[in-house]
A and B are shown apart, each in its own frame.
Chain A
Amino acid sequence: AQSVTQLDSHVSVSEGTPVLLRCNYSSSYSPSLFWYVQHPNKGLQLLLKYTSAATLVKGINGFEAEFKKSETSFHLTKPSAHMSDAAEYFCVVSDPRGGATNKLIFGTGTLLAVQP
């Protein structure tokens, strides 16, 4: 069975400092991995995705994540936090086999607070 574990439920950083949101995954197959962001009262937005190409994935708004198979990790980073980054972030895994449902399995989320 596939699953993701987000290691921190809350992360607080100061504006301009680096962001690290941690995620570990479990999958019987070579997984597809994603990070989504959810701002209050808004829909889920895809930040970036890993689908077995380059292990360092760049996303929108300066975020990037590195797929590390040996550590079964897919941590999300950003060099410098902005106030607008405050939101909830979800690490997500999906079964990449062709013809499958492609349903997404979400982690429990990390709430990122950015202090001025």
Chain B
Amino acid sequence: DTGVSQNPRHKITKRGQNVTFRCDPISEHNRLYWYRQTLGQGPEFLTYFQNEAQLEKSRLLSDRFSAERPKGSFSTLEIQRTEQGDSAMYLCASSLDQRTFSNYGYTFGSGTRLTVV
């Protein structure tokens, strides 16, 4: 296990279809984050898990979006009834619980690029 793995790398879908992305974090990391990056912008926070619990969701995460992390291991992000505005790079990151901030370490995956046509 050398990093955060995301699948698929690319997804092209027709508007209105559902899509699901997967993220496999670094095995000992208990925190998992999803970010979205649109063209020409920096990544924006979507949601965060501490183990299996989803503790925060951004207002960017509409009702069409749902994320899960069963058993506190891998996570899935599902988008229902996709819209063209959902086209973006979806990034996953993992880290250890950083209460002491002595070693602040996020590790990002390479992302899933979604294109809605």
Contacts and interface: CB of A to CB of B under 8 A. Distances in A.
Interface stretch (A12-20, A61-69, A72-80, A104-112): A104-112
Given A43-B108, A43-B109, A49-B104, A104 B45 contact: yes
Given A43-B108, A43-B109, A43-B110, A103 B41 contact: no
Interface residues of A, number: 25
A90 B42 contact: yes
A116 interface: no
A83 interface: no
A84 to B, nearest CB: 18
A102 B41 contact: no
A102 B110 contact: no
A44 interface: yes
B98 interface: yes
A27 interface: no
A102 B105 CA distance: 11
Contacts of A34: 104
A103 B60 CA distance: 14
A105 B33 CA distance: 13
Given A43-B108, A103-B33, A108 B40 contact: yes
B42 A103 contact: no
Interface in B37-88: 40-45, 48, 55-56
